[in-house]
Structure 1
Amino acid sequence: MTAAGRAGLLSAGAVARWPLPVLGDSATAATSLILRSRTLRIGVLSNANSGHNRRRLARLAALAARYPYVMHRATGHGDEVLGALQDFAARGIDVLAINGGDGTIARVLGEVLERRPFAARLPIALLPGGTANMTADRLGVRGGLLRAARRLFVWAGGGDGNCRPLVRPLLRVRFADGRDNAYGMFLGAGAVIQGTEYAHREVHARGLRNNAGLAVAVARTLWGLHRGDPRFVQPVNLTMTIDGYTTVAGQPMATLLVSSLERLFLGINPFWGGGDGPLRSTVLGPAPRRLLRSLPWLLSGRASGAMTEAAGYRSRCGECLELALDGTLNIDGECHEVRRAMGPVVVDVGGRFEFLRL
């Protein structure tokens, strides 16, 4: 199939087949995503403890039960994920649907890569069942949880709905101290940590969640960076190399962003740097000059004339990043403490998945 055909819209009744990249370190060069003319079997894996699922899981389970080709499993603990995936594999599902937040998606896709429960790479459908749903918002089924699930189930049965498949890489984060690899679509440090703590302490506690709460937390964090507020600006010395080239050499940074997504929460794109590779990174110094004036460019993937390295702005793409710092990394909502003395943290592509955008 041509590249133009891949980017087109596919109905569930269409027959389509094309090669899909698998793991970068796999001996197998490609696998096939097959959308058959028959009904597609869907395995829905729900995190029972995710934000929206605590209130809507019973309704989702009842909805799934109406469709004989939909299998639903709810897990309450991370150790149950592999068993659920193996059960889906034994039942021969065609599509793996993940119902949870960013952390749930990262955990499940990491298990798929590390444990390989399926004989071939399956297409992924994301349902927005978490408190933080950045990945599902960018790559998943549109709408609220129940509306999105209904749209997916109807489409899989040959009903109305168009699907636009999107291939995206998953970050793999390897730690020098031997702990398990972490996976995700986003890694942040510095003000990302302080902003997250502010959101939990001040925003979520007041009932503001989803995009509204996120917008408040992001705005407050940016204002804190602009004012040099120590609650948001806690500089950490960072050394970062990208594909062997040192881009930050032990210098203080206030914010670190790394992602394989084209856009982040609320549609922002804080990456403007050049270079080849799917990993996009941005580093802001402790006092980036003219921050407020630069925001329209900073948040839309463009560089203004004021956004220079000397002014505290760095952005670059690459295949592999190495990070050395003392502090906390936020990887799709999961926090990991790291120390420079332990050795560098290596961030690369763990694998690529096909996401069904409905």
Structure 2
Amino acid sequence: MTRGLIVNPQSGKASGKGLELASLLKNDTHVVVRILDDFSRLGAFLEEMAAARVSELFISSGDGTVQAIQTEIAERYAPGFVPHLALLPHGTTNMTAADLGFRNRNVKVQADFIANRQPRILAKRPTLRVANPKDGKIRHGMFLGTGAIWQATVFCQDAVHRVGLKGDFATFATLAAAIAKSLFSPANPADPTRIDRPYDITLLQGGKTVLADQHLMLLATTLDKLILGTRPFWGGKDGPIRVSTIPYPVPSIARWLLPLMYGGEDRTVPQGARSLSGSSFEIKTRIPFVIDGEFFEAPDDAPLRLETGLEFTYVCG
């Protein structure tokens, strides 16, 4: 059995965890270790992993690198080469790893597992395949958002991360800033710096319009839980993709934030909030999207298509 390790050394503000792990494994002939110091080399590294018949691929990175690796495997190598993935949360944002990642965060324990241990805990999950973005690059991620989610991600990357906060702390700071602004200053739909403003979003399923008009946000995911352990879905799960929308205006962000993020399948939600599940959806909006931390836009002449992507098996422990 051959295992692989890909380390993005810039993940997590260059925390060094991935490089430490690579150093511990560099002399193990049963582990193919590659340092992704140049992202253009990712394709060549995966080619090596496929040739070496790597059965389990450990990824030391954040969400963006995980998405890129899943995309390459799904679009270039499947079904011939689809290794089990083990996500090591060494990045600035680790939403996917929080749900499906390797559970022990100690680098020495991770090295010992890669060198000597067999997996006991596995999880299976399909990707969220973004089929037709404007730039033509298909993506296999796990989380997509638009509206206020896009605006909040911009704020996180431009302001919060600059002062050293990352991961769940950055998300908490962003939410806190939005809530504080809504509590102490009146809504201003024309203010482009406000996260809590209206966005024109239309959602279609099976070619039929499910909802339209102005909304605060839309999110779509194949994950069971998101950042900070949130589960902003309700009404039952009938398909691998869950899509939730929050209307604008929300009666009270302070009142509805916790029920929307942490309630059960039968939770009470504000009027106009919707949650659906299925195998595919289409979204019409001129607002940019974010998928696993990466920004992109829908095509000019068609709605953005979300599809159920390749199912991966994840090594959790």
Instruction: Give TM-score scaled by structure 1 length.
Output: 0.79
Instruction: Please say if residues 148 and 216 of structure 2, whose CA atoms lie closer than 8 Å, have aligned partners that are also in contact.
Output: yes
Work out whether 1:345 is the aligned partner of 2:292: no
Q: Distance in 1 between matches of 2:263 and 2:11?
A: 31
CA distance in 1, matches of 2:41, 2:294: 18
2:294 aligns with 334
Would you say the 8 A contact 2:187–2:197 is kept in 1? no
How many residue pairs align between the two structures?
310
Please point out which of 197, 209, 216 is paired with 1:246: 209
Task: Assess if the C-alpha contact under 8 Å between 2:9 and 2:35 holds in 1.
Answer: yes
Q: 1:85 to 1:176 in 2, by over 3 A?
A: closer
Give a deviation string over 1:265-290, Cα, whole Å, max 9, x none: 11100111345211011111221124
In 2, distance between residues paired with 1:158 and 1:55? 23
Give the Cα separation in 2 of the matches to 1:215 and 1:331: 19
Cα shift readout 1:32-79 (whole Å, capped 9, x = no counterpart): xxxxxxxx4211112233225453443232112253322211123333
Say whether the 8 Å CA contact 2:134–2:296 is kept in structure 1.
Answer: no
2:219 aligns with 257
Q: Does 1:271 align with 2:233?
A: yes
Cα distance in 2 for residues equivalent to 1:80 and 1:97: 17
Superposed CA deviations along residues 164-215 of structure 1, whole A, max 9, x for unmatched, are 1000110110226571212210001111122112223332222222322222
Change (3 A) 1:158 1:61: closer
The verdict on how the C-alpha distance between 1:183 and 1:262 changes in structure 2, with shifts beyond 3 A counting, is same
Q: 1:74 to 1:117 in 2, by over 3 A?
A: farther
- Aligned to 1:60, what secondary structure does the other structure show? helix
Distance (Å, rounded) in 2 between the aligned partners of 1:205 and 1:84: 31
> Aligned with 1:343: secondary structure?
coil
Is the aligned partner of 1:215 residue 2:172? Answer: yes
The residue number in structure 2 matching 1:7 is none
**C-alpha distance in structure 1 between counterparts of 2:246 and 2:78, whole Å:** 40
- Per-residue deviation at 1:162? 5.8
User: Distance in 2 between the 1:117 and 1:319 partners?
Assistant: 20
Relative to structure 1, is the Cα distance of residues 177 and 336 closer, same or farther in structure 2, using a 3 angstrom cutoff? Answer: closer
1:200 to 157, 176, 181: 157
Amino acid at match of 1:287: P
- Provide the aligned C-alpha RMSD in A: 2.3
Unaligned runs of 5+ in 1: 1-39
What are the superposed Cα offsets for residues 287-336 of structure 1, whole Å, 9 maximum, x if unpaired? 1124322233211243544x25xx23111111101011101000110000
- Residue 99 of structure 2 is matched in structure 1 by 138
Distance (Å, rounded) in 2 between the aligned partners of 1:129 and 1:158: 21
Please state whether the residue corresponding to 1:179 is helix, strand or coil: coil
Kindly report which structure 2 residues correspond to 1:1-358, keeping only aligned pairs within 5 A, or say none: 40-53=1-14, 55-116=16-77, 119-144=80-105, 147-148=106-107, 150-159=108-117, 163-175=120-132, 177=134, 179-224=136-181, 228=187, 230=191, 231-249=194-212, 251-274=213-236, 276-302=238-264, 304-305=267-268, 307-308=269-270, 311-338=271-298, 341-358=300-317
Decide whether aligned partners of structure 1 residues 95 and 259 sit closer, same or farther in structure 2, where only a CA change above 3 A counts: same
5+ residue gaps, structure 2 = none
Q: In 1, are the aligned partners of 2:134 and 2:297 still within 8 Å (CA)?
A: no
Question: TM-score of the superposition, structure 2-length normalised?
Answer: 0.89
Q: Is the 8 A contact 2:133 2:297 kept in 1?
A: no
**Which amino acid is 1:350 matched to?**
G
Give the distance between the partners of 2:236 and 2:39, measured in 1 at CA.
Answer: 38
* 1:42–1:95 CA contact under 8 A, matched in 2: yes
